[in-house]
Every structure is written in structure tokens, then in C-alpha cells.
């Protein structure tokens, strides 16, 4: 596989590191390697690896982890899997991020079922958010989930995030009041601009306390939001949610393909 081009882009919120792949296929190969290497690092350092995933096309980008060599070499017993956001629908519903991840990824790797943390889909959005936060607090207390000394919020080992064409991440949408939530770990939304309307979502303080965040953005449909986020012309009053990812004490890297950065090309030699 050919290597990605690594680019640093100056933005209003500091330098951003981009890996630009010719094709999504090469991105998926690299993302699997990156995830497996971090899982080994944290399994050795902490005895656990906490991975937060989202829905959408991100899950497809994880498909190489279910193949050799990773299927055999990764210590799956150390994995603890969470969702950065989830639609408040039954687990077998077509809109469920859990179902998507289960069908494509989780059903094919031997992570202990008790270490896969889905929402309680029998509760209201508010109830499901409270319940999920209680679950996280328990896992912090038992040492499975680390705590950020910098912020006091949970510090997940790796978050794999996608981005919508409107620049939203998790279920944090442009212009929505939840962008300003700074106390809760998990909150809920009942008026998502994208259906289904009821969701739970991690908040920015938790996302920004992560040890590693990999943002996977592919396809020409995302090029406009990528340009807005990384083109450098924006003001802080008009920030997309994706621009608000700013790690306190961690490493943030964009995994992109040529199509997603097509509108940035005049800026950097991509």
C-alpha cells in the first residue's frame, strides 16, 4: 500500500495534522494498523484499551481489523467499546449505531460481550444519557476508563470519529445549544436536525480529554466542510463542531482521502 501524504494545516484553532490517502481502501488499511498499535500500547500500559466509535461510514473504515493479521494478533480481551453518540432506537433497528457496528465489526472479533457498552434502548433519551453516564462513572471508579489529570473528565484511549457534510461530529450539530455543554459527560438531544431526532452524545469536554482522536473523513461530499474547517478563513463565532475538537493533552489526527481534501488543494500542496 502506498503511504499517505502527511500535511500540517494552520487553522484558527492551531495546527492540524492530516494524513491524505489516494483512496479510502488505503485509509482503511492504515486506520486498522493505527488502532491495533494503540490497542497494544494501552493494553500494556493500563491493562485495558478503551475505544470510542461513532456510526456512519466510519464503521466501514474499520473493516480491515476483522482480517489477518489483526484478528489473530490483537488482544481483543482488553478492548472496551463505547459509542460517542447513539440513536435512541432498539438495538436491532436500522438506525442503530450499535447494530451497524455489530454487523460489520463487533460480531467478527472476540471482544468479551460485557465489554461492549451499548445504551439502554428501553429508556427515554434523557434516561439513556443518564444511564450511560452512570456506566462511565462506574468504569472510571474501577480503573477501566482513565481520567484526564488536565480536565478531570474521562480520558478515553482512542476515539474514532466521523464528520457529517455539515461539519457535525457525534450528535453535536452546528449552532445547537449542546455545543456549549461543559459539565455533563453524556447528554441527550431530542431535536436532531438529522433523523432520528432522539439521540445521546458525548460532550466536548469528554471528547477533548481523549488521549488520541482519529477523525475519518472521506469522499467529495465532505469537501466543503473540510475546507471550512481547515481553510483558515473562519472566525471563532462561526465554528463548525468539528473545529471545536481541541485536545487538552492528546493527539488529534485527520485520516482523509484525496476527494475529501479536494477543495483544500490550492492551500497546501496536496
One DSSP character per residue, 222-262 reads GHHHHHHHHSS---GGG--GGGG---SSSEEEEEEETTTTG
Residues 232-238: contacts with CB under 8 Å, at least 24 apart: 232/9, 232/10, 232/11, 232/12, 232/267, 234/11, 234/12, 235/12, 236/12
- Quick one: average pLDDT of 47-56? 96
Question: pTM value?
Answer: 0.95
> Is 78 in contact with 48 (CB distance < 8 Å)?
yes
> Is 60 in contact with 255 (CB distance < 8 Å)?
no
- Quick one: average pLDDT of 245-250? 92
**Domain-by-domain residue ranges, the chain?**
16-261
Beta-bridge mates of residue 7: 18
CATH class as words, domain 16-261: alpha beta
> Is 239 in contact with 174 (CB distance < 8 Å)?
no
- Quick one: average pLDDT of 38-65? 96
265 compared with 109, residue with greater pLDDT: 109
> Is 242 in contact with 224 (CB distance < 8 Å)?
no
- Quick one: average pLDDT of 122-136? 98
The pLDDT, as a whole number, for residue 232 is 67
Q: β-strands 199-202, 85-87: how paired?
A: antiparallel
- The torsion angles phi and psi of 49, rounded to 5 degrees, stand at -130, 115
259 has pLDDT over 50: yes
Q: pLDDT tens-digit profile of 188-236?
A: 999 999 999 999 999 999 999 999 999 999 999 999 999 999 886 656 6
The pLDDT, as a whole number, for residue 42 is 98
119 has pLDDT over 80: yes
- Quick one: average pLDDT of 171-184? 96
- For the stretch 133-143, what's the b/e string if a residue is b when 16 or more beta carbons lie within 10 angstroms of its beta carbon? bebbeebbeee
The pLDDT, as a whole number, for residue 139 is 98
The pLDDT, as a whole number, for residue 198 is 97
∠ at Cα 167 (166, 171), nearest 5°? 95
Of 23, 47, 86, give the one whose Cα is nearest residue 255: 23
Joined together, the cell numbers standing for residue 196 give 432520528
Q: In what order do the strands lie in the sheet with 79-83?
A: 5-11, 14-21, 251-257, 212-217, 158-161, 49-53, 79-83
Cα-only R_g, the chain: 17
11 has pLDDT over 50: yes
Of 117, 122, 119, give the one whose Cα is nearest residue 131: 119
- Quick one: average pLDDT of 53-64? 94
The pLDDT, as a whole number, for residue 244 is 94
The pLDDT, as a whole number, for residue 268 is 54
Mean pLDDT of the chain: 93
- Quick one: average pLDDT of 124-149? 97
The pLDDT, as a whole number, for residue 1 is 47
- Half-sphere exposure for 82 (CA within 13 Å, toward CB): 28
**CA 47 – CA 140 distance, rounded (Å):** 14
8 has pLDDT over 90: no
Amino acid at each position: 500500500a502506498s503511504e499517505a501524504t502527511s500535511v500540517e494545516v494552520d487553522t484558527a484553532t492551531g495546527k492540524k495534522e492530516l494524513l491524505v490517502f489516494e483512496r479510502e481502501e488505503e485509509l482503511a488499511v492504515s486506520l486498522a494498523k493505527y488502532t491495533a498499535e494503540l490497542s497494544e500500547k494501552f493494553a500494556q500500559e493500563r491493562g485495558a484499551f478503551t475505544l470510542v466509535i461513532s456510526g456512519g461510514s466510519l464503521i466501514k473504515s474499520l473493516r480491515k481489523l476483522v482480517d489477518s493479521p489483526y484478528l489473530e494478533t490483537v488482544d481483543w480481551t482488553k478492548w472496551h467499546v463505547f459509542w460517542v453518540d447513539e440513536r435512541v432506537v432498539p438495538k436491532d433497528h436500522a438506525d442503530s449505531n450499535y447494530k451497524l457496528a455489530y454487523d460489520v465489526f463487533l460480531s467478527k472479533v472476540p471482544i468479551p460481550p460485557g465489554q461492549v457498552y451499548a445504551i439502554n434502548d428501553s429508556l427515554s433519551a434523557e434516561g439513556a444519557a443518564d444511564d450511560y453516564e452512570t456506566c462511565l462513572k462506574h468504569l472510571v471508579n474501577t480503573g477501566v476508563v482513565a481520567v484526564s489529570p488536565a480536565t478531570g473528565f474521562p480520558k478515553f484511549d482512542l476515539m474514532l470519529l466521523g464528520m457529517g457534510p455539515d461539519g457535525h461530529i457525534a450528535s453535536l450539530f452546528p449552532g445547537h445549544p449542546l455545543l456549549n455543554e461543559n459539565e455533563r459527560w453524556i447528554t441527550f438531544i431530542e431535536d436532531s436536525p438529522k433523523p432520528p431526532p432522539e439521540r445521546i452524545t458525548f460532550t466536548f469536554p469528554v471528547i477533548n480529554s481523549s488521549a488520541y482522536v482519529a477523525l475519518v473523513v472521506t469522499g467529495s461530499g465532505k469537501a466543503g466542510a473540510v475546507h471550512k474547517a481547515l481553510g483558515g478563513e473562519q472566525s471563532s463565532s462561526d465554528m463548525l463542531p468539528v473545529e471545536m475538537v481541541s485536545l487538552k493533552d492528546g493527539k488529534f489526527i485527520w485520516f482523509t482521502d484525496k476527494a475529501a481534501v479536494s477543495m483544500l488543494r490550492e492551500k497546501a500542496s496536496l
